[in-house]
Structure 1
Amino acid sequence: VIATASAWRIANMLRDDLGIEARATASWIARLRAGEKILDSRTVLIVDEAGLLSSRDMGALLDAVTNAGAKIILVGDRRQLQAIGAGPGLDLVARAVEAARVSNIVRQREPWAREAITSFGGGRAAPALEAFADRGLLIEADGAKAAVTAALDAAEQIHAHDRGASVLILAKSNATVAAISRAARERLKEAGIIRGTEVSFTAATPSGHTAQISLAAGDRIRFLGRDDELGVVNGSAATIVNVSETAQSSSDASRILIEADINGRQTTFDPMRLADAQGRPRLGWAYASTVYGSQGLTVDHAIAYLDHSYNRHDIYVAASRARERTTLVLDAKSIDRRLASELPFDQQRDGLVFAEAQRRGWLAERLSRAAPKISTLDVIEGIRPLGRTAERSRERRRELSHEL
């Protein structure tokens, strides 16, 4: 029995939980294409988070399994985040073979939370939002800066009551994650947790953009690429013990060294060893995560920064990461701006503030919308009825012509 998932972090969790060999899907596919004999008639391949697989990757796995006479078990939820690559791999398989459905939610400990998450996943966001609001877990903040502050305040309150609790702050975009991380660092500096010499360099973000990052002792960092020598994969986290910046001579470029604690193991490395093709280290802060990066994770508490960009798939994942409680923090101004933009042109003006009921109604409608991946089959199936209608129209014209 072997296993795979689209992300190395989830694959490693499978390895640790099941005690079997597990690798990222791209790694297995690369080895199969290189001609390695990985599968045979006795192999069972478990694919976790299969809903994230593109049709191309799903096809590669199915071809390899079929050719080897092996067995494949696909585990995934088509209501969660969709594949980045082209085509919905899991959905295409589910159309062709009978699927077993597991509808019971076991992660959340409170019945109301399980019911609310089921509602989010089914496109019924209004009662789900009401359930969070009734328990004081839907916070409306007056703008982006206030929402960041509210999210960090919520995290601090959780840690004040339970220092050992795992807390995950989520946002839709990398830009919002960066804003939360910068604000978190300022608080940690004031508390003396981040201290001493600080180094700065240009790094690559998870989306491939460029960002300036500053690090010091006490910082929490996340590796955004795999490095076997360091023993890290995309998503691995560490705590910085010390940083230094040196130059061999006045004419040489300075070299940064980071000493970090990676799951109790201390190591020193140059961030340039993690550089991408453009020379940007794939390294970031670990104070918040995108919703996409959180799929497959389980924590004690989650705090989701909500804005106008969420859809049904996003909220379904964001609201279902925590065992205990999830707090939804809403950037109310972002919703108000969208509501204002939908007014007749002569009624639009800056700074419009809408009633809570209007805001939540708009948000509920937005969070109920699905944005599923489509495939060529969807296009063909959409065209077929048009073709049949056109054919019936031609037949009717021939009948009328004959009658005349």
Structure 2
Amino acid sequence: MNLSALDRGRAQAASTRIVIDEAGMLDQDLAHALITIADKTGAGVALIGDRAQLPAVGRGGVLDLAVAASRRPIDLAEVHRFTDKEYAKLTIAMRDRHEPGRLERGNITIHATDAEAWTAISTDVVRKAEAGATIAVAVTSNDAATQLNSLAQDARARAGHTRTPAVEVAGSDGLAIRVGDRIMTRSNNKDLRVANRDTWTVTRVHRDGSVTVKEHGRKARLPAEYVEAHTHLAYASTEYGVQGATVDFGHGIVTDSSSAQAVYVSATRGREHNTLHLVAGDVDEARSIFTGALRRESGDRGVEAARENITRDLHGIVLPAPGVDLRVRAERLATSERVYAARVREWELATANWEKRHPGISATDPAAGAAALEREHQVAIADVARLEHDKQAAVVDAHATSWERDYAAVDQACVAAVDAPVFRRRSTQEAHENARRDFTAKYGHEPTPQPPEQLRDTWRRTATAPGRDERLEAARRHVNETRQKLEHLQRDPAPTRPTAPTPGTPAQERAKDVQFLQARKQVEQRRGNSPDLRGPRTPTRGLER
């Protein structure tokens, strides 16, 4: 809105209401000018925004002041953006700065290095862009945004979601604009009916370098001069740039300097899923970075907000009561911190040794490692059972086939002996007897049409006896190895991280001081009573030359 033009005579009637969206971005000077003009014209003013999002760059707190001054402020508490209702509830807790650390449900990814985090974000941006999904990546610099915008644009082009126009036109980021690209306007222009940080879809690039864009039923044609100076691709932007955007998938980066507002904005852009990326050495460090960010407010939201922040920061801090020996208190606390630091070093060494004894299992989550080992053990048992069944079936089938073939020979010899003429009967009977004897010697059983079940059981046991099949032996060794690993894990629990010292009530702190003094006196007494193991000292004279 051009306030000066409004002030020069285009006054609004008393029935007019001026609606300011994203009013949390208003600084107090601009808000004062707006309210002054509204008072002169009799127009009403409605401020819409989220006080938990990023504040004004200058003196802020306008929404907080407006809520305090309004007789009937309206709080819109129902969330409609997210497909996951549980995540919607979680974002409300984040907005109110409650329950920090609970965003551990697949929405936080921990990386070992900055390069690893950047690779993960870039890879997902390319994959989502190729699938045609809309993306918002909140980054900390314009250079990072330009690099990700270039990757996303190339991916969408490869997938056929955009096309090359007849005329090449580039925005302020130096990237050529394609038909189908998402771009952001960065300068208010009432004649073009565009505003700073509006996002649009490019529908046409004209021969004169102008660009036609549309969004939610709105349409505008941006001149070439405006495009080159005041637009850029909108797949990635700074936290301020993505505020107000609604996309399919969102990414954000949380560092030890991130603010609660920036984290909240980054975590609430995507309908389907939002991912926050942290670079940390372990889960505890990542949790510390995340919870620290949710306690860190940025910008100026006014005196009342500052008072609330100070009250929250002081919550739990126990100030020394009158009469407390501050020197003793400081010495005790320093000793406690040294002891805690030593225990942490012992724990870190024990953890490293434990993980060497249990390769592939994290000491921070041994239950997950045990569960994975148990699954591997059950799979190994199933493999052994399958191999045993297949081996037994193959051996029994082979023996049964041989049995039936040999029995047919005995039966044929018997028929020949019965049907033989008198002068050949003796020889055929001998042949039958020889066939029967050979059969019995081979199978240990008299000839029958089918082998008995007892003999089949013997064949099965023999087929899977130790040493008969290398594949089966390897599978059995794997069963034993996984069982031994599980038993070792159960006998050798992971080291527990020591608990950091925490302040108690004033009475508890005084009691700790007394115990510290008593312990120190006991140590000094033991030192005084200990014999000098070096023996008595004899004074000596300097050596004479």
TM class by smaller structure: 0.5 to 0.7
* Partner amino acid, structure 1, of 2:202: T
Q: Is 1:56–1:87's contact at 8 Å kept on the other side of the alignment?
A: no
Q: Report what 1:126 is aligned to.
A: 100
Deviations 1:161-191 (A, max 9, x none): x74x433222233232122123334545666
Which of 206, 226, 230 aligns to 1:274? It is 226
Q: Report what 1:251 is aligned to.
A: none
Return the alpha-carbon distance in structure 2 between the equivalents of residues 287 and 325 of structure 1: 16
CA RMSD, Structure 1 to Structure 2 (Å):
3.8
1:44 corresponds to 2:5? no
Pairing of 1:58-73 with structure 2 (within 5 A): 58-73=31-46
Deviations 1:223-282 (A, max 9, x none): 3235567664433434386698xxxxxxxxxxxx53645239796953xx228xxxx722
Q: 1:178 aligns to what SS in structure 2? A: helix
Return the alpha-carbon distance in structure 2 between the equivalents of residues 367 and 379 of structure 1: 15
Q: Is 1:199–1:216's contact at 8 Å kept on the other side of the alignment?
A: yes
Q: Report what 1:174 is aligned to.
A: 142
Shift of 1:52: 1.5
Which of 164, 186, 195 aligns to 1:224? It is 186
Q: Report what 2:64 is aligned to.
A: 91
Q: Report what 1:215 is aligned to.
A: 176
Return the alpha-carbon distance in structure 2 between the equivalents of residues 158 and 96 of structure 1: 45
1:76 corresponds to 2:27? no
Deviations 1:90-146 (A, max 9, x none): 22233333433333333223232122212222223633322xxx2x23223344443
Shift of 1:311: 0.9
- Alignment: residue pair count: 301
Change (3 A) 1:108 1:61: same
Return the alpha-carbon distance in structure 2 between the equivalents of residues 51 and 91 of structure 1: 9
Return the alpha-carbon distance in structure 1 between the equivalents of residues 305 and 52 of structure 2: 17
* Partner amino acid, structure 1, of 2:121: A
Return the alpha-carbon distance in structure 1 between the equivalents of residues 16 and 201 of structure 2: 35
Pairing of 1:1-400 with structure 2 (within 5 A): 24=1, 27=2, 29-37=3-11, 39-98=12-71, 99-124=73-98, 126-130=100-104, 134=105, 136-158=106-128, 163=132, 165-188=133-156, 204=172, 213-215=174-176, 217=178, 220-226=182-188, 232-234=194-196, 235-239=198-202, 258=209, 260-263=211-214, 269-270=223-224, 273-274=225-226, 281-330=229-278, 332=279, 336=280, 354-375=281-302
Q: Whose helix fraction is larger, Structure 1's or Structure 2's? A: 2
Change (3 A) 1:320 1:374: closer
Q: Whose strand fraction is larger, Structure 1's or Structure 2's? A: 1
Shift of 1:373: 0.8
Q: 2:101 aligns to what SS in structure 1? A: helix
Q: Is 2:263–2:293's contact at 8 Å kept on the other side of the alignment?
A: no
Q: Is 1:129–1:364's contact at 8 Å kept on the other side of the alignment?
A: no
Deviations 1:304-345 (A, max 9, x none): 243444211111122222333212233x1xxx5xxxxxxxxx
Return the alpha-carbon distance in structure 2 between the equivalents of residues 224 and 187 of structure 1: 24
Q: 1:129 aligns to what SS in structure 2? A: coil
Deviations 1:44-99 (A, max 9, x none): 23222222111122222222222333332222222111012323222223333343
Return the alpha-carbon distance in structure 2 between the equivalents of residues 313 and 266 of structure 1: 32
Q: Is 1:40–1:69's contact at 8 Å kept on the other side of the alignment?
A: yes
* Partner amino acid, structure 2, of 1:62: I
* Partner amino acid, structure 2, of 1:316: Y
Flag the structure with larger Rg.
2
Q: Report what 1:12 is aligned to.
A: none
Percent identical pairs in the alignment equals 23
The one of the two structures with greater contact order (alpha-carbon pairs below 8 A, sep at least 6) is 1
Q: List alignment gaps of at least 5 residues for structure 2.
A: 308-545
Q: List alignment gaps of at least 5 residues for structure 1.
A: 1-23, 205-211, 245-256, 337-353, 381-404
* Partner amino acid, structure 2, of 1:183: L
Return the alpha-carbon distance in structure 2 between the equivalents of residues 241 and 145 of structure 1: 37
Q: Is 1:260–1:267's contact at 8 Å kept on the other side of the alignment?
A: yes
Return the alpha-carbon distance in structure 1 between the equivalents of residues 33 and 190 of structure 2: 25
Change (3 A) 1:356 1:375: closer
Q: Is 2:169–2:209's contact at 8 Å kept on the other side of the alignment?
A: no
Return the alpha-carbon distance in structure 1 between the equivalents of residues 99 and 262 of structure 2: 12
Return the alpha-carbon distance in structure 2 between the equivalents of residues 238 and 189 of structure 1: 14
Shift of 1:361: 1.7
Q: 2:74 aligns to what SS in structure 1? A: coil
Q: Is 1:45–1:72's contact at 8 Å kept on the other side of the alignment?
A: yes
Change (3 A) 1:117 1:166: same
Relative to the length of structure 2, the TM-score reads 0.47
Q: Is 2:128–2:134's contact at 8 Å kept on the other side of the alignment?
A: no
Relative to the length of structure 1, the TM-score reads 0.62
Return the alpha-carbon distance in structure 1 between the equivalents of residues 191 and 31 of structure 2: 30
Return the alpha-carbon distance in structure 2 between the equivalents of residues 93 and 187 of structure 1: 45
Return the alpha-carbon distance in structure 2 between the equivalents of residues 159 and 231 of structure 1: 29
